[in-house]
Chain A
Amino acid sequence: GQEIISPEFKKPLVPVSFNLSEYFKQFLFPQNECELHDFRLSFSQLKWDSWIVAPHRYNPRYCKGDCPRAVRHRYGSPVHTMVQNIIYERLDPSVPRPSCVPGKYSPLSVLTIEPDGSIAYKEYEDMIATKCTCR
């Protein structure tokens, strides 16, 4: 079973200076990519609990992170985002790169005591971020 390995096979296939880990880094997801983060606050810490009866805790969530170059389907971003990226990279760096912002929201139900002592249940639109996008 001792195969004779000819000397030409011992030559390294890639130049010695080539660093494989660096090469693969470009395919990994960026560490701080644009994504949704929680931020749970309670109305008592804002001293609003004297008249916001419910909910006790409110998590508006927020979007934070870098927008990778190819964003379209992963973030539901419009093609305009790619164009803006190209403008920033090739034409005019004063044009800002696309930002990581909320793309979808969900409503919030609030129970409050009104100044006249009446009680109100209200549903407000766009109070909790549910999806991020790059724009």
Chain B
Amino acid sequence: SQAPRGEAVIAAGAELESEADPWSLLQPLDGADRPGLLPPLFKVLSDRRGETPRLQPDSRALYYMKKLYKTYATKEGVPKSGRSHLHNTVRLFTPCAQHKQAPGDRVTGILSSVDLLFNLDRVTAVEHLLKSVLLYTFNNSVSFPSAVTCVYNLVIKEPKSSNAPSRAPSSFTFRNHKWIEIDVTSLLQPLVASSERSIHMSVNFTCKKDQSKHPSAQDGPFNMTLLVPPSLILYLNDTSAQAYHRWYSLHHKRGSSQGPDQERSETAVGERSARHRR
């Protein structure tokens, strides 16, 4: 129902009493499912009729993505212009299976290495990978008496891809962080590009306290098993026409910021000087 002039607002809490169920507004008239007809958002909406997500997302993952959303967009959902990132899509996957191997050793801090299986079916062919990280968080907010340096070894077990590096040893130091990001772009780029949608990897950590920086820190073992199995985050550039291309619209604005008349006068001047030269 429309309020008089100005803001037409649906009365709060009132059901949308339209004869046609909103879903039918999204269905093509002849019922044929022409992929190009509906932009992805409405395709998602029309596919969702009555379907509830099979799996509910992990609450920590949802919390992280809500914070990311607040960083990237206003309350009304408009992307913030100050952002310079090129990705217009961010996907977070929680492992659909994980297997713990050798239990961790509390004294030396060697963590149990863990096998992770990610199903990337939702990544479409038009989404190109720009960056990918494994996101670790803790079961509950732990505080480390001192900095901890970890060396991790990440191996891609499946698919066995000839041209992709299958292992990425590296290290990082973390303090009282809630989140730890491990960049795995070099490992995943070739796999996502070759439309591999099921990634099986194993990760193991070896963590030591930085005694050099904090000799006074008591040498008690730290329970690294507080680490929750990681989520996989993909930063993608959706190249479809319906996606928002930040760099394009910035360039386009700059190009068309001159009014059509101004552009025309500049070309006229250009032509005149070219004629003189001729």
Contact = CB atoms under 8 A, between A and B. Distances in A.
Contacts, number: 148
B15 interface: yes
A30 B243 CA distance: 37
B188 interface: no
A3 B94 CA distance: 96
Contacts of B241: 125
B238 interface: yes
Contacts of B78: 106-109, 128
Q: Which of B39, B61, B88 has the most CB of A within 10 A?
A: B88
B89 A122 contact: yes
B55 A117 contact: yes
B62 interface: yes
Contacts of A56: 75
Give chain A's interface secondary structure class.
Answer: strand
A83 B45 CA distance: 40
30 contacts: A39-B2, A40-B7, A46-B22, A50-B53, A58-B76, A107-B78, A108-B78, A109-B69, A109-B72, A109-B78, A109-B79, A111-B65, A114-B53, A115-B51, A117-B56, A117-B57, A117-B94, A118-B57, A118-B91, A119-B61, A119-B62, A121-B91, A122-B41, A122-B88, A123-B79, A123-B89, A124-B242, A124-B243, A127-B41, A128-B76
B64 to A, nearest CB: 9
Interface residues of B, number: 56
B145 to A, nearest CB: 34
Nearest to A42: B10
Given A48-B48, A55-B73, A119 B88 contact: no
B135 to A, nearest CB: 12
B68 interface: yes
A112 interface: yes
Given A118-B93, A120-B122, A59 B242 contact: no
A48 B41 CA distance: 12
B243 A121 contact: no
B119 interface: yes
A53 B62 contact: yes
A116 B244 contact: no
B122 A114 contact: yes
A126 B119 CA distance: 31
Contact of A113 (B2, B57, B90, B243): B57
